[in-house]
Amino acid sequence: MNLLLLQMAIVLIVTVGCGWIARQLGQARVIGEIIGGILIGPSVFGRFAPHLSANLFPAASFAPLETLSTVGLVLFLFLVGMELDYGQLYRQRATAVAASGMSILLPFAMGALLAHSLRIRFAPQGIGSIPFVLFLGIAMSITAFPVLARILEERNLQSTPLGTTRAKVRP
């Protein structure tokens, strides 16, 4: 339990700090928070201080951390749904369907196309081509939504026509 609290404190301090830096640079906080995750993950911290990283974030502790992150994501997306203007969404239903379809299909297609070149290097032994393509395509398509929702929420655009679908361009 003490390790989980320490991990949460480290994650929060680093991501909030990186989010603040991102805001100072004119970017959305979520961009800085993602960079903070990369910094304390295996890509940076794990590479430059592998023993310290293994002690602070042992593999056995990932399950409780993942559970907490899932709960946080579900609560955040619930709040996004609670603030959604359904009247605005209904008035622009054709645009909403097209935008939501493309926000899933385009990242999926890009991930699927990229999967073929990444499979040899990153796919575990025994994983076929189709499962890896589906995994990468789905991973790309579902991770885009929470990031977009955070940017819209931060910019107070979630209840505007632009935030629910897109702005109508008038000649």
Domains contained in the chain, number: 2
3-state secondary structure of 6: helix
**CB contact at 8 A, 3 and 64:** no
| Cα separation, 34 vs 18, whole angstroms | 8
Q: Copy the structure tokens of residue 48.
A: 């430059």
Using a 10 angstrom Cβ sphere, with 0-12 exposed, 13-18 middle and 19 or more buried, the burial of residue 101 is exposed
Domain that holds residue 64: 1-83
Is the domain of 98 the same as that of 165? Answer: yes
At position 84, the amino acid (one-letter code) is L
Domain boundary among 26, 59, 83: 83
Which helix (H) or strand (E) element contains residue 140?
helix 129-154
Instruction: Say if residues 10 and 19 touch (Cβ distance below 8 Å).
Output: no
Residue-by-residue pLDDT tens, the chain, 171 positions:
799 999 999 999 999 999 999 999 999 898 999 999 999 999 999 999 999 999 999 999 999 999 998 898 888 878 877 777 777 778 777 877 887 788 888 888 988 888 888 888 888 888 888 888 888 888 888 777 777 777 777 877 766 666 665 434 333
